Amino acid sequence: MPIAYAAEIKELTNIKSEILNPIITLLFAIAVLYFMWGVVKFIWNGGKDAAKEEGKSQMLWGIVGLTIMLSVYGLIKMIIATITELTGIS
């Protein structure tokens, strides 16, 4: 029976490495770019209060996006590690 579990675990790790990791990396890069664009807006529009507020908002949402992506990545690692530990397959 452990052989069947090994195949399923292998499929899960393949899905993680081939599909989920690139998507998470792409979303991470988008969040970093959004944050950096907010920083640029905030610095360039030093005298304009509305533009500074928009820059602050973009920085905040960039950080929220980064936090979500980091959490998703951690949860995926934790789920796969738990399944691997419970099945005894490495």
What are the pLDDT digits (tens) for 27-75?
A: 899 999 999 999 999 999 878 888 889 999 999 999 999 999 899 889 9
Structure tokens at 42: 């905030």
Domain assignment present for residue 85? The answer is no
Domain assignment present for residue 74? The answer is yes
Q: Is the pTM of this model over 0.75?
A: no
Domain assignment present for residue 89? The answer is no
Burial class (CB in 10 A: 0-12, 13-18, 19+), 62: buried
Domain assignment present for residue 8? The answer is no
Number of domains in the chain: 1
Q: Residue 51: which domain range?
A: 18-79
Q: Closest Cα to residue 55, out of 45, 65, 64?
A: 45
Domain assignment present for residue 86? The answer is no
Domain assignment present for residue 60? The answer is yes
Domain assignment present for residue 4? The answer is no
Phi, psi of 68 (to 5 degrees): -65, -45
